[in-house]
Amino acid sequence: MATSINPRPALPPFSLRPARRSEQPTLANVYARGFWKDVLFGDYIHPYREKYPADNDLYWLRRMQVEWWDWTHRFIVSTVNDEKIGKEIVTGVAHWARLGPEGAKKYGLRWWDPRRIILPLSHLYTSITSCFFPNRAAHPDLEDVIERAYPFINPWTGSREESWYLEWLAVAPEYHGQGHGRALVQWGLDRAKEENICASVIAAYGKEKFYENCGFNNTAGTAGQGEGNPLADTPGGVVYFRDVPWESNGLANGHDSSLTNGLRQKS
Ligand SMILES: CC(C)(COP(=O)(O)OP(=O)(O)OC[C@H]1O[C@@H](n2cnc3c(N)ncnc32)[C@H](O)[C@@H]1OP(=O)(O)O)[C@@H](O)C(=O)NCCC(=O)NCCS
């Protein structure tokens, strides 16, 4: 069900709705273009993206093809209606995941559900196709750097075990500044609020203020922390939470501004 949003009278209206599987290549392209200039997903992981732009899309497509089949994940898109061509355009995409054992019970498939087989099969499919069609836009040693860094980060413990986690968010560059990003973030914040649990995100470099403006009120380290973390020298990656209680506003006591001040100055 699409939700029509008119953020400010001066800005064109847009809608939010769940993404369709047939849109995966479009969403991958929005991600690739959105993260094109990002220090981590652009220059660091994909130094050859100018030469192989389609392979850069492939990176995002393969992630999506696997995680699409995890029922605790949700892909939400923002769209506009282009009246000139009479067509709906996907302008942004947010990939939210419901973390935690309660989330798995509530949204995941039961142990006996035959659809559970699709997730490992899609993993296998992407591994095999990656061998035949490697991502030539990526640095060969860095394509899996995110996966290698994940074991070093686990802020989802204690009262934060249950969380709506924003895995990836991007708005197509030509639609920046029209409220689409904030609305896609708000979608997950609303789900977290409904369940009275926290929301979380790992902010890309330079996006700290954006998430703080969206309502994330605590920080919990960075994605590069821990000895031997392959992201140790990569800027950004501040882990943000929008903690409960939902009634309170503003930055909570646990917010460590030293994590973000330096990043903000550089951005
Ligand atoms: C970050 C991103 C999603 C923002 O999307 P957007 O649609 O341009 O953002 P919005 O128009 O909804 O902006 C909401 C507010 O945040 C502000 N904002 C947007 N980007 C910002 C940034 N990088 N730093 C600080 N504030 C920012 C806007 O000015 C706006 O403020 P206002 O409501 O007071 O006017 C978009 O810039 C993007 O796709 N970037 C590339 C991919 C990326 O970095 N994703 C985040 C990864 S964690």
Domain ranges of the chain: 3-266
Name the pLDDT band for 239 (thresholds 50, 70, 90): very high
The yes-or-no verdict on residue 253 having pLDDT over 60 is: no
The yes-or-no verdict on residue 109 having pLDDT over 90 is: yes
The yes-or-no verdict on residue 168 having pLDDT over 50 is: yes
- What atom of ligand 1 comes closest to residue 182's alpha carbon? 12
Q: pLDDT, tens digit, for every residue of 75-88? A: 999 999 988 888 99
Q: pLDDT, tens digit, for every residue of 56-70? A: 999 999 999 999 999
Q: What is the mean pLDDT of residues 169-177?
A: 97
pLDDT at position 7: 60
Mean of the per-residue pLDDT values of the chain: 91
How far is ligand 1, taken at its centre, from the CA of residue 181, in Å? 6
What count of Cα atoms within 13 Å lies in the side-chain half-sphere of residue 215? 23
Residue from 210, 261, 267 to probe ligand 1 pocket by mutation (most atoms less than 8 Å from CB):
210
Are 214 and 182 contacting, i.e. CB atoms less than 8 angstroms apart? yes
The finding on whether 177 has its CB within 6 A of some atom of ligand 1 is yes
pLDDT at position 12: 82
How far is ligand 1, taken at its centre, from the CA of residue 203, in Å? 11
- Ramachandran assignment for 90, one of left (phi > 0), alpha (psi -120 to 50 degrees), beta (any other): beta
- What atom of ligand 1 comes closest to residue 184's alpha carbon? 12
CA distance 168 to 36: 14
Nearest CA to ligand 1 atom 16: 210
Core vs surface per residue 94-133: b (16+ CB within 10 A) or e:
bbbbbbbeebeeeebbeeeeeebebbeebeeebeeeeeee
CA 262 to chain centre: 23
The yes-or-no verdict on residue 54 having pLDDT over 90 is: yes
Q: Strand 198-203 vs strand 163-171: parallel, antiparallel, or unpaired? A: parallel
Nearest CA to ligand 1 atom 12: 179
The yes-or-no verdict on residue 251 having pLDDT over 50 is: no
Fold of 3-266: Aminopeptidase (3.40.630)
